[in-house]
Amino acid sequence: MKNFIKSKNFTIAVVGATGAVGAEFIELLHFNGVSPDRVRLFASERSAGRSISIGGKSVVIESLKQGCFHGVGVAFFSAGKGISKLWAAQAIAAGAWVVDNSSAFRMDSAVPLVIPEVNANALDVCKGPSIVAVPNCSTIVALVAATPLHRVAKVRRMTVATYQAASGAGAAAMRELELQAKAFVEKTPMRTEIFGRQYLFNCFSHNSAIGPEGYNEEEAKLLYETRKIWSDESVRITATCVRVPVLRAHCEAIGLEFERPLTEVRARELLGAAPGVEVVDDRINNRFPEPLHATGRNPVFVGRIRADWSLPPDMGLQMFVAGDQIRIGAALTGWNIAELIAARI
Task: Give the mean pLDDT of 262-277.
Answer: 98
Q: What is the pLDDT of residue 344?
A: 86
Q: pLDDT confidence of 108, banded at 50, 70, 90?
A: very high
For residue 86, pLDDT over 80 is answered with yes
Which residue among 68, 150, 206, 250 is the active-site one? Answer: 250
137 is catalytic: yes
**Spatial separation of the C-alpha atoms in residues 164 and 327, rounded to whole Å:** 14
Q: 73 near 10, Cβ under 8 Å?
A: yes
**Spatial separation of the C-alpha atoms in residues 318 and 254, rounded to whole Å:** 6
Which residue among 68, 137, 241, 251 is the active-site one? Answer: 137
C-alpha pair distances (Å), 236 with each of 155, 226, 227, 249, 317: 9, 10, 9, 26, 15
Any idea of the CA torsion for 298, 303, 309, 312, to the nearest 10 degrees?
Answer: 60
- Beta-bridge mates of residue 57: 54
Reported as half-sphere exposure (CB side, CA atoms, 13 A), residue 170 has a value of 14
Q: What is the pLDDT of residue 185?
A: 98
Label the pairing between strands 155-164 and 236-243: parallel
Query: pTM for the whole thing?
Result: 0.96
Q: What is the pLDDT of residue 213?
A: 95
Residue-range domains of the chain with CATH = 4-135+330-342 (3.40.50.720), 139-325 (3.30.360.10)
Q: 203 near 125, Cβ under 8 Å?
A: no
% of the chain at pLDDT higher than 70: 99
Task: Give the mean pLDDT of 235-256.
Answer: 98
**Spatial separation of the C-alpha atoms in residues 45 and 322, rounded to whole Å:** 36
Q: What is the pLDDT of residue 172?
A: 92
70 is catalytic: no
| Nearest to 274, CA basis, from 116, 112, 155, 137 | 116
**Spatial separation of the C-alpha atoms in residues 144 and 126, rounded to whole Å:** 23
**Spatial separation of the C-alpha atoms in residues 335 and 2, rounded to whole Å:** 12
- Beta-bridge mates of residue 277: 300
For residue 1, pLDDT over 60 is answered with no
Task: Give the mean pLDDT of 187-212.
Answer: 96
Cβ-based neighbours of 262, under 8 Å, separated by 6 or more: 149, 152, 153, 314, 315, 317
For residue 301, pLDDT over 70 is answered with yes
Our CA angle for 176, 179, 184, nearest 5°, is 125
**Spatial separation of the C-alpha atoms in residues 75 and 339, rounded to whole Å:** 12
Our CA angle for 197, 200, 303, nearest 5°, is 120
- Beta-bridge mates of residue 255: 159, 318
| Nearest to 150, CA basis, from 122, 123, 118, 121 | 118
Q: Which of the two residues, 55 and 324, has the higher pLDDT score?
A: 324
